[in-house]
Structure 1
């Protein structure tokens, strides 16, 4: 049996074997799982040869814990009673402090993210702490898409695009009934998700702003702004956040170690380095240079 610990918002894999008496051994065991990090979403998964145990610590903010196991499993969120999960059924957990997954041998896929990332989705604000595992096609598709990203190293723009797609599916799954009819007949939510994907793919462009988004999607600027405000954010704020995520990913990439911070900011869509530095520090609590030094180990 294997015991693996994970932590929000960035995921660190560490394995410790259990001996036949159920006591933790001193020797580390290799993890059977792969990990892929997008921007704020982490994907863990693979084929487990033996049963095992995931322990997830959510710190300092609450997190979201999504997964699916080939065989039946058990999930416990915080101090709540364990919930039995049917084989092959996707589950969604909102974690205040910690979660535990007991899985059997077979394929396991997990998607982890800080709950604060979901501030753009009103439906997710109402999801209580705990775990749910009802049949949900959107959640099932989300996990399948996530499994397809395992082991891949993606360029920052593509990683942001894939993350937006996963978050869109999550917002749909957490909505009323998790089905399209429950979300209104006008297709407005579908358009919103389409716009999010468009922003993820094009936010680094310097000529990409509110008016350009409105023109590309044939929607009135005022209507477009109201659409984002209904999700608790302005379009400009979301566009800035997407650019900051691109820049943060590029700064943490060792391949960019010789590139100036100002060049990375420009490539992410920012025109002014002073503005970029101020927004970056406000969003991530550190300067771009200090983040690069910490992640680079220098």
Structure 2
């Protein structure tokens, strides 16, 4: 079911009323922060589970500190608002929540301080953001934004122009996705995904210093790979040519989920097919996010009570 309502500045409103002025500071200058949160429908439980909801709002809080923004609600209040929003939409499918905190003053002039911060949260149906059965990627000519320019560790609205440049270049060159390098020429991440390599029996992923978003799915992969597969993860500098020699490569993120890569710069990765490590992690991930693994239920926030789940038709 599509979105009927959204949450905006303290109220649940009809979706079509979720508008801002063309003079809004966040629109004109990109002065906002956002999150992307997935909810997964479990038909057997008649339940939507919002995955790692608390961690997403904690990261939003950290992003806002960097942009001198104040969250209008506590993390616990955001959790309550989010679950209520999905309930009001009566959604019984996979959904995507996008909370946005933005500078709402209608002024001309670039700054962060002394401006009003407002909030919008939407909940909409969403399937796969990118292909999850074998991506063909290209290393982008666009370099990843630097921590001293627009910090990539914060989900800053304006910073995603950097991702858009790389993504369009990749698609227009015949690839599915881009892989971005730092200004030093080290591997950073995809256009909007973290990246993992499987090399010599361990997972390798760029360190936080490599201008990456500290991904919640990235953290999930690190924990699950160690716990379920006994595979450690090494966070370090990764050179471009290591991509070509990896046994496996995959991207991950809330939108991307776990997306195996089978080719980079026209070079096959490993056997040129989706590898066993990415396959197993993908299977585990989808079981976990749909609430099918009891030991990971702490990461899954249920939307419906048993009674309300039965009466949402």
TM-score, normalization by structure 2: 0.30
Which one scores higher on RCO, CA 8 angstroms, separation ≥ 6?
Answer: 2
* Structure whose residues are more often strand by fraction: 2
* Structure whose residues are more often helix by fraction: 1
TM-score, normalization by structure 1: 0.31
